[in-house]
Amino acid sequence: MTLSIGSIAPNFTAETTQGPINFHDYIDGGYGILFSHPKDYTPVCTTELGYMAGLADEFAKRNTKVIGLSVDPVGAHEGWAQDIKDVTGNEVNFPMIGDHDLAVAKLYNMLPADAGETSKGRTAATNATVRTVYIVGPDKQIKAMLIYPMSTGRNFDEVLRLLDSIQLTAKHSVATPVNWKQGEDCIIVPSLNDEAAREKFPGGWKTLKPYLRTVPQPQEQAAAEPAPAK
């Protein structure tokens, strides 16, 4: 099965550093990020895992659970976790899948079906394609996929920015422009005509082109305060 944006993220149960986890149950109605690594004790991945661990509070604010994957047994992850803490100062606080049978890597099209059934004897180079970030929504659909080479560390600040855009645009009739950041203007989606846009954005908008209308970032409605007791 070929995966793309909009595909249902394949479910699986796997051994992790925090015990057996069913992926769909783990997400539990929120967002999920699955990010993979070709092998334990690889230098670029060591820096990535530590940085990701340092963002734990940011992902929690966004109702997003993180789960990592490396093509090695769970037991090997434990020693690597100590190295990650030594190098980055951050303790890995999310589960790490031990994909020693390559099942999840193959399920997510990161390795071909004929890659074998064991990580034994495989090197980081033979697992080079296991370098993908998947953002999965509460509906279990894949919302974004980022694929990097082994030689390039992933930008997890960009993953946060992307997640913010995905969550914002899922709730409001907007898209986000190039290099958008939280609090900046958004674009009214073209499928919303001016009449409908006036209902959603009574404060108006700026028209740069008939198909390009910008508005301040929509804000979440604050819950109404209860009336004072009489």
Give the up-direction half-sphere exposure of residue 84: CA atoms within 13 A in the CB hemisphere.
26
Beta carbons within 10 angstroms of residue 212's beta carbon: 13
- Catalytic residue (choose from 45, 72, 99, 186): 45
- 119 to 50, 173, 183, 196: CA distances (angstroms): 23, 45, 45, 55
- Catalytic-residue membership of 186: no
Alpha-carbon distance 51 to 67, whole Å? 14
- Residue pair 108/51 in contact (Cβ under 8 Å)? The answer is no
> How long a stretch of residues is the chain?
230
Residue 139 annotated in active site = yes
How far apart CA 168 and CA 37 sit, in angstroms, is: 29
Q: Could you say which of 25, 139, 157, 194 is catalytic? A: 139
- Is the separation of the CB atoms in 117 and 102 below 8 Å? yes
Report whether 26 contacts 32 (CB < 8 A). yes
Question: Please, are residues 185 and 216 in contact by the beta-carbon 8 Å criterion?
Answer: yes
Q: How far apart are CA 19 and CA 35, in angstroms?
A: 18
Catalytic residue positions? 45, 139
